[in-house]
Amino acid sequence: MTKDLTVGSPLKLILGFALPTLFGLLFQQMYNMVDAMIVGRLLGANALAAVGSTGSISFLIIGFCTGVCSGFAIPVAREMGAGEHSKMRRYVANAAYLSAAFALVMTVATGLACRAILTAMDTPADIFADAWRYIFIVFMGIPATYLYNLLAGVLRSLGDSRTPVYFLALSSVLNIALDLAFILWSGLGVAGAALATVLSQAVSGLACLAYAGRRFPILRLSRAERRADKKLCRDLCVMGVPMGLQFSITAVGSIILQTAVNGLGSLYVAAQAAGAKLQNLLYCPLDALGAAMATYCGQNVGAGKLDRLGKGVRASVAVGCAYALVSFAAMMAFAPGCAAWFTDPGEDTAQLIALVSRFIRTLTAFFPALALVVILRMSIQGMGYSVLAILSGAMEMIARMSVSWLLVPAFGFSAVCFASPSAWMCADLFLIPACVVCIRRLRRHQERYRRSAQHQAEHELPHIHDRARWYADPTQLHRHRDRRPASVHPHRRIA
């Protein structure tokens, strides 16, 4: 079931779209949450530290996969909003070919390099072996990551944010069962947790593929639409690769920060790992708003309804800031209890819980800045300016690197707590004016094309009836610079 986001109240549409996406993100976070809870309680703090020490590496690679798939979905949303269904299907086909190629290359490269990366990050010797086992299996699951994220992105571009959630719900239950089977009963340790996550995501991706093929006739490709197209692949890469690089550039700063934390010792690694799990869970509503804004902006740009962009951004920012205040209040009250989810009750965990609580409370205090980062960045990407995401990611990277190199050695874990907030605020300094400029630029382009089309129509259409046909549909003017208005000649098509 597709959904048109170009008609109706922006706030209602965004919230209606974001709510199912939020459930999907929560189920996705359950993978990591269950891993951490089971690993921490059944295998101990060192095993938890091993899993946590790979978080920044995982974000570097898996984040690139997620960003690329999100970028591939933007042209799909644009063509959906424009009503160009055949071209939309051609984009889907070429996105699948590119995803398969990216998945193959990345799986081989990361599998060979993960040991060297862990060594370069100064991973503590007592957790190195478990960290390598965990991250190697996660990297072998990169094709499953591409499969699910591409399908989920395509379906969201069509306006359906519910279908991916259903399969993630099933997959989360499977993940819990496999975690227990592989860790508790089979004795596979942290490798079992990684294997459970990969298999669960593969199941959700395959189930989503089968369902979409049967229940979404709009995605059924003809033979001509299945052909690889260099121009479409280039367009997809222009949108997808910058979004993927934005995640990866941001992750570089996280890796450097993780290296600095590793130098503090296993206790601080475990504290940051547990805090990161809570942080990712609390991110979900903001990520859902961001995903909604990418599709919302993509469809409205495709339909030429640029006046709705600013309204949607303002509504999302208001909702995001309200949520940020609620999450901060919740962590001030319940942070110690949440931190206890990731610790073994039999261990002396008072210091670990105190560190986790300090970490998560500091982060949530700056969640309004994070809300702006997520919403503005995804809105800009939905408008088609994905290259700007690299610049915002670079600012985040510089901020995290500066904290890691200059402040962590001097102030220890306290500086670690302020690393992400400093990155968010630096990114906001760029994204706020960038979003305003992007909307204004789109409006100027649309007005320029409208005037050009009217001028051409007045000179090329001698009949009032034909000129009226051209003026009746100005919404596509901004989409093609070289599109010319129809004339009385039968071989020229109406815009």
pLDDT for the residue numbered 358: 92
Domain-located, residue 491: no
Closest CA to 212 of 81, 96, 100: 96
Report the phi/psi class of residue 303: left, alpha or beta, with left for phi > 0 and alpha for psi in -120 to 50.
alpha
Residue type, 95: A
Higher pLDDT, 32 or 258: 258
Residue at token pair 């340790």: 189
Question: pLDDT value at position 108?
Answer: 95
Q: What is the pLDDT of residues 274-286, one digit of tens each?
A: 888 788 889 889 9
Mean pLDDT of the residues in the chain:
82
pLDDT number for residue 32: 63
For 349, the token pair is 């965990």
Q: What is the pLDDT of residue 472?
A: 42
Asked if the model's pLDDT at residue 468 lies above 60, the reply is: no
Amino acid identity of 148? Y
Three-class DSSP category at 230: helix
251 compared with 109, residue with greater pLDDT: 109
Q: Report yes or no: 329 and 367 within 8 Å, Cβ to Cβ.
A: no
Work out the angle at residue 227's Cα, subtended by the Cα atoms of residues 226 and 230, and round it to the nearest 5 degrees.
130
Number of compact structural domains in the chain: 1
Q: Please check the confidence at residue 197 and state whether its pLDDT lies above 90.
A: no
Domain contains 25: yes
The most confident of the ranges 170-184, 292-306, 355-369, 462-476 is: 355-369
- Give the mean pLDDT of 237-264: 83
* Region 116-133 average pLDDT: 85
pLDDT for res 81 = 81
Rounded mean pLDDT, 205-215: 87
Q: Which bin fits 282, alpha (ψ -120 to 50), beta or left (φ > 0)?
A: alpha
pLDDT mean over 196-202:
88
Task: Specify the pLDDT at position 114.
Answer: 87
Model pLDDT, residue 394:
86
- The C-alpha angle 275, 287, 215, rounded to 5 degrees, equals 125
| 395-421 tens-digit pLDDT | 888 988 898 888 988 888 889 999 999
pLDDT score, position 33: 66
Q: Does some domain include residue 434?
A: no
Instruction: Decide if 38 is inside a domain.
Output: yes
Residues 38 and 183: beta-carbon distance below 8 Å: yes
- Is pLDDT of 322 > 90? yes
Does 204 reside within a domain? yes
* Residue 185 in domain: yes
Listed residue (207, 480, 252, 242) closest to 380, CA to CA? 242
| Mean predicted confidence (pLDDT) in 47-59 | 78
Amino acid at 324: A
30, pLDDT greater than 60 = yes
Residue among 240, 432, 296 nearest 21 (CA):
296
Please give the average per-residue pLDDT across 360-366, as a whole number. Answer: 94
Res 477 pLDDT > 80: no
Average pLDDT for residues 35-45, to the nearest whole number?
73
Q: Which domain holds residue 50?
A: 10-372
Q: What is the mean pLDDT of residues 362-367?
A: 94
- pTM (predicted TM-score): 0.74
Please give the residue that has the higher pLDDT: either 191 or 38.
Answer: 191
Cα separation, 390 vs 413, whole angstroms: 28
Buried b / exposed e along 253-285 (16+ C-beta atoms within 10 A): bbbbbbbbbbbbebebbbbbbbbbbbbbbbbbb
Q: Is the pLDDT of residue 460 over 60?
A: no
pLDDT greater at residue 198 or residue 122: 198
Residue 357 lies in a domain: yes
Give the pLDDT mean for 358-373: 94
pLDDT for residue 345: 56
The answer to whether residue 480 is domain-embedded is no
- Which residues fall within 8 angstroms of residue 326, CB to CB, at 6 or more apart? none
Confidence of residue 106 (pLDDT cuts 50, 70, 90): very high
